[in-house]
Chains A and B, each alone.
Chain A
Amino acid sequence: QVQLQESGPGLVKPSETLSLTCTVSGGSLSSYYWTWIRQPPGKGLEWIGYIDNSWITNYNPSLKSRVTISVDTSKNHFSLKLSSVTAADTAVYYCARFFYSNSRHNWFDPWGQGTLVTVSS
């Protein structure tokens, strides 16, 4: 079964770039879509974007100018970069498989355990 694990720095300085990696086990990156979601402490969920199995990306317009999602097939992981961060970017960041069925129905499952990133000097 597919499992995901986020990794990366837990503290980023304002104006710098947040970089996270999601390592996938039990499945091939080229078989599915992959996505990032974040959750500020005590708040709700915000979709960040996805990368599909042709390595085409789609980002939330609210973050599009600052976000890059990419894949490294040799390491079976995908990555998130968010530039020019501020305190408002402090959140738990989750990666997940973005599953598309033949019927066009789609959903996020499974999710990684999440990693807290704090933006502070």
Chain B
Amino acid sequence: DIHLTQSPSFLSASVGDRVTITCRASQGISSYLAWYQQKPGKAPKLLIYAASTLQSGVPSRFSGSGSGTEFTLTISSLQPEDFATYYCQQLNNYPRTFGQGTKLEIK
């Protein structure tokens, strides 16, 4: 199985901050990576697929980059509704796997 490691696991930030979350894969997955946002009690929501393509309707302050084994999710200016848990997912190999999550909290 491909193991995904997200860093940091917890992140404390303020409204307006720029934040970056990293996802490292245990082996190369080209650009077959997605990012999801999950709020408490809700289902995950797709933010980005193919490592850098923004899903329709997702604000442009979210961006993704990377290829191979290292990927980043960046939020350019945090808004109150962005405080949530973020997961990366690899879609190159079976079984599909997720990172352990990054919880973004308000400072």
Contact = CB atoms under 8 A, between A and B. Distances in A.
B46 A109 contact: yes
Contacts of A113: 42-43
Contact of B95 (A44, A60, A94, A111): A60
Classify chain B's interface size: 20 to 34
B39 to A, nearest CB: 12
Interface in A94-121: 94, 103-114
A30 B49 CA distance: 23
Contacts, number: 55
B45 A111 contact: yes
Interface string B65-97: 000000000000000000000010101001111
A94 B43 contact: yes
A46 interface: yes
A53 B94 CA distance: 18
Contacts of B96: 47
A54 interface: no
Contacts of A45: 44, 87, 89, 98, 101
A85 B69 CA distance: 35
Contacts of B50: 103, 105, 107
Contacts of B32: 104-106
Nearest to A103: B50
B43 A114 contact: yes
Contacts of A19: none
Interface of B: 31-32, 34, 36, 42-46, 49-50, 53, 55, 87, 89, 91, 94-101
Interface of A: 44-47, 58, 60-62, 94, 103-114
